[in-house]
Structure 1
Amino acid sequence: MKGKVWIAAVLGIQLLVSQPLGTATAAEAPAAPSIYVNKAQLPLQKEPLLVDQRTYITAEDAARIVQADWKLSAGTGVLKRSEKLSFTFDVNAGKVAVNGKWIENGQGALVRNNQVYLPLRWIVEQAGGSVVWNPEKKAVEIVSSTHDEDLVFPKEDQLTSDEKAYIEKVHKTQGIHQQGNLYVIARGESPNPGYSLKVTGTEWSWEQLRVFVKLTKPEPGMMYPQVISYPYLVVIADLSPYSTVVFLDADTKKPLFAS
């Protein structure tokens, strides 16, 4: 998962901030570019701007790229990714705050034709990523920070007595149960042991660890004792402060047990 590319943006070499522009005036980048989020194409709604060797995209495009919410009211715009990370832009003063703290050397928003534009590279780097140019793909890539965290499936002798007691308490109730960095993924009551759960993979999207869980069913032709069972998995995820974890159905890609 280290250094995993989550977004490749075909914005053209003009978007490289290392390319001298020779002027501080804003200019629209040629051709409406598209980006790729987890290999899915995501066209920008409006062309980016190049200002002082920096790339700016609309606040709405920025929100879609970094999976955040954007709200603008009375000259103040808020780009909120989670409870742990948000950006506040004073559009009139050109100031920006991260998590409520105003940044002295932060890059503020721009307004062009009544449209708010935000600095692409600065936002990505504040969110823990980096922007690089891939000469082979001829694309700008936004690369996630290195993650040393991984999903661990602890053995029983590695659990504390409190953790064992918690597992015993919740493992029969369907859902995702959390105690600290320990998660219990419980399927709930099943008619026989042929029903189970299996983690099929993980991936990082920004600072979110996505865990894909498959709800398996009895194999055709197999005989199982008709005994009520309560399938569950126990995992440990040691994540950095800005990271979160979400469990998804491996088949539907929707939140596990959403229905």
Structure 2
Amino acid sequence: MKGKILLAATLGMQMLVAYPAAAAPASPAAAHVYVNGEQASLEKAPILVDQRTYVSASDASQILQADWTMSAGSGVLKLSDEQSFTFGLKDGKVAVNGKWSEKGQGAIVRDGQVYLPLRWLVEQAGGKVAWNAEKKAVEIMAALHEGSLVLLTDDKLTKEEQAYVESVKKKQGIYQQGKLYVVARGESPNPGYGLQVTHTQWSWEQLLVYVKQTKPEPGKMYTQAITYPHIVAKADLPPYTTVVFLDADTKKPLFAPEK
């Protein structure tokens, strides 16, 4: 049985005047997105255009565990070696696996930020979308590979698990206790330093987890306070499989010493 990941994007009930797609203004949508029942931390609030919910490209990559890259005039959201989406940022066109699609839903650029159509992307990735009138939420069921990695916040851990995280998070490294994994960056001078899982990939009997070491944004002021960036996850894996954490930028083992 394939694992399932549940995303619930709670949408505000608001009426919009019908506009052509190219001219439709963006309205704020609800900012709550839940992954596996847990609220995701979004960098940008979603927007609602022609009754469609758009999320920032960086948030879409987090939700779908994909890799987002930009070049001149286009952006690519890569879910795996077999599946990718290319968005034309000037003409609104979209290509699925390298082939331009007339039925695809393009990206929207607002104030220099790229937004991608959430529902269309999830359905293209094999997911199912349903409206829950009682909860007033969009529920998305997306099929995943058997066995998966689920990111957790500290408040969702048992007291024993929290104690384990506290015991290892201050020293850089990758730690494991049963199905629980802790990826710790170590001491950092301000909150601008962090860790982010960009995507996962299966390779034979290994689950490859790509982690990006984020840095402070140029010109942005941060509170000078010691932090200990870390990621906590649980892996439910088939027998004889292992988890390998890789640097999303170098594709080498995470925290590997530089030569």
Matches within 5 A, 1:10-25: 10-14=10-14, 21-24=16-19, 25=24
**1:36 positional shift:** 1.4
Contact map agreement 1:85 1:99 (CA 8 A) in 2: yes
Residue in 1 aligned with 2:37?
39
CA distance in 2, matches of 1:72, 1:247: 28
For residue 21 of structure 1, report the CA deviation from its aligned partner: 2.3
CA shift, 1:22, in A, is 2.1
- Residue in 2 that maps onto 1:76: 74
Whether the 8 Å contact between 1:26 and 1:49 is mirrored in structure 2 is no
Identity fraction in percent = 55
8 Å CA contact 1:23–1:52 kept in 2: the answer is yes
Structure 1: stretches of 5+ with no match in the other structure? 15-19, 145-205, 216-242
Partner of 1:121 in structure 2?
119
In 1, the alpha carbon distance for the partners of 2:55 and 2:110 equals 11
On the 8 A contact 1:130/1:142 being kept in 2, the answer is yes
- Give 1:114 shift: 0.6
Q: Is the 8 A contact 1:129 1:142 kept in 2?
A: yes
Q: 1:256 aligns with which of 242, 245, 259?
A: 242
Summarize the alignment of residues 1-259 of structure 1 with structure 2, pairs less than 5 Å apart: 4=4, 6-14=6-14, 21-24=16-19, 25-30=24-29, 33-144=31-142, 206-210=143-147, 253-254=234-235, 256=242, 258=244
The alignment of Structure 1 onto Structure 2 pairs a total of residues equal to 163
Superposition deviation, residue 87 in structure 1? 0.3
Alpha-carbon distance change, 244 to 207 in structure 1, aligned in 2, over 3 angstroms: farther
When the two structures are superposed, what TM-score results if normalisation uses the length of structure 1?
A: 0.54
| 8 A Cα contact 1:21 1:52, kept in partner | yes
What's the C-alpha RMSD, in Å, of the aligned pairs?
Answer: 3.2
Superimposed CA distance per residue, residues 13-36 of structure 1 (whole angstroms, 9 cap, x where no aligned partner) = 45xxxxx622322232255x2211
Q: Point out the structure with max Rg over C-alpha.
A: 1
Alignment partners' CA distance in 2, 1:211 and 1:59 = 23
With normalisation by structure 2, the TM-score equals: 0.54
Any idea what the Cα deviations from partners look like across 1:110-166, whole Å, max 9, x if unmatched? 11101111111111111111222212333211123xxxxxxxxxxxxxxxxxxxxxx
- 3-state DSSP class of the match of 1:253? strand
Deviation at 1:4, TM superposition (A): 4.7
Tell me which amino acid in the other structure corresponds to 2:242.
L
CA contact (8 A) 1:76 1:90 kept: yes
Cα distance, 1:124–1:137 mapped onto 2, change above 3 Å: same
Mapped to 1, the partners of 2:242 and 2:3 lie a distance apart of 27
How far is the alpha carbon of 1:60 from its aligned partner? 0.8
- How big is the shift at 1:52? 2.1
**What's the CA shift for 1:256?**
2.4
- SS of equivalent to 2:234: coil
Whether contact under 8 Å (1:75, 1:90) holds in the other structure is yes
What SS is found at the alignment partner of 1:62? helix
For the residue of structure 1 that corresponds to 2:90, the secondary structure is coil
Amino acid at match of 1:209: E
Aligned-residue offset at 1:11: 3.0
CA contact (8 A) 1:59 1:118 kept: yes
